[in-house]
Amino acid sequence: MERDIILEVRDLSKSFGGIKAVDSLSLNLKKGELLGIIGPNGSGKSTLINIITGFLKPDKGKVLYKGTDITGLSPYKIANIGLVRSFQFIRPFYKIPVYKNVVISLCSDRVKRLKGGSFGRRDEVAIDLLEELGFERDSRILYKETSEIPHGYLRRVELARCIALNPDLLILDEILSGMSKPEVASIIPVIKRLNDQGLTIIMVEHRIKELFQIAHRVIVLNFGRKIADSTPEEVMQDQTVRSAYIGKAKINFRR
């Protein structure tokens, strides 16, 4: 395997009853890439991410991370080696203050190992990170019970929770959904900056216009299969991709 390949998915398949959610799918990801994954609803995007991150076992195929076979490892072990994901259906701890959700990441085995056993000032580190994601550090929002804040804010907390884990590969499953336009406009440069600093990122998105502004490469899924794997420009021109979206949700390919 090439040394600069951080993730390799080989011939992955997963069915639910009669539905082939992921169908003989292969892909490579280079270190430092920002890869977009798009596709109509139900095309297998989240199933693919769930397999890569250990939440589902494939019927067939392999996932290699940094050259090691991680197929079937537990989600905990996978996150612990730096492959971190966000959830399409977020599940924060609702009964604690907002910023404490990020503190929990900072208490993980991974962060303790990387930052040493005595990683102090966790509250402050969490609030610094949330500030980078657009929260004002003195705003009452950060100290409110998590159940009380709007959904768009929770998406940013979800992103902070992932970044706090110090990932080597970050997979974002529809992190922009439910965010307002201004929120998206403020978060896109943050994601781009993380990538510019060397973090490898996969973004599963329906917000195609925004995704295409920052993705180096885009993979398109349809019925669990890869129907395109190219630059955003080429994907936009691809007739197969366009027909996969006809009659589906209004996908705006224009930049």
Ligand X SMILES: Nc1ncnc2c1ncn2[C@@H]1O[C@H](COP(=O)(O)OP(=O)(O)OP(=O)(O)O)[C@@H](O)[C@H]1O
**CB nearer to Mg ion: pick between 126 and 179:** 179
Among ligand X, Mg ion, none, partner that 107 touches (CB below 5 to 8 angstroms by kind): none
Write the single-letter amino acid at 24. S
Q: Which of 32, 42, 72, 75 binds ligand X (CB under 6 A)?
A: 42
CA distance 202 to 39: 14
For ligand X (CB under 6 A), the number of binding residues is: 12
Name residues contacting Mg ion, limited to 45-64 (CB under 5 A). 45-46
Return the percent helix, strand and coil in the chain, to nearest 5.
40, 25, 35
Helix, coil or strand: residue 41? coil
Q: How many Å is the Cα radius of gyration of the chain?
A: 18
In the region spanning residues 46 to 85, those forming contacts with ligand X, defined by CB under 6 A, are 46-47
Q: How far is the CB of 88 from ligand X (least distance, A)?
A: 6
Q: Is 88 in the site for ligand X (CB under 6 A)?
A: yes
Using the rule CB under 6 A, which residue among 6, 34, 39, 161 binds ligand X? 39
Question: Quick one: 47 or 166, whose CB is closer to Mg ion?
Answer: 47
Q: How far apart are CA 75 and CA 98, in angstroms?
A: 24
Among 9, 23, 25, 43, binds ligand X (CB under 6 A): 43
For residues 108 and 112, give the distance between their C-alpha atoms in angstroms, rounded to a whole number: 6
CB of 206 to ligand X, least distance (A): 6
| Cα-based angle 188, 45, 163 (whole degrees, multiple of 5) | 40
To 10 degrees, the CA torsion angle through 37, 41, 42, 45? Answer: 20
Residues 176-205 that bind ligand X (CB under 6 A): none
Least distance in Å: CB of 92 to ligand X? 19
CA-to-CA distance for 65 and 85, rounded, in angstroms?
14
How many beta carbons lie within 10 A of that of residue 190, not counting itself? 16
Q: Output the smallest distance, CB 209 to Mg ion, in A.
A: 19
Using CB under 6 A as the binding rule, whether residue 44 contacts ligand X is answered as yes
Query: Which residues, 6+ apart, have CB-to-CB distance to 176 below 8 Å?
Result: 155, 184, 187, 205, 207, 210, 211
Least distance CB 46 / ligand X (angstroms): 3
List interacting residues with ligand X (CB under 6 A). 16, 19, 21, 39, 41-47, 88
List interacting residues with Mg ion (CB under 5 A). 45-46, 88
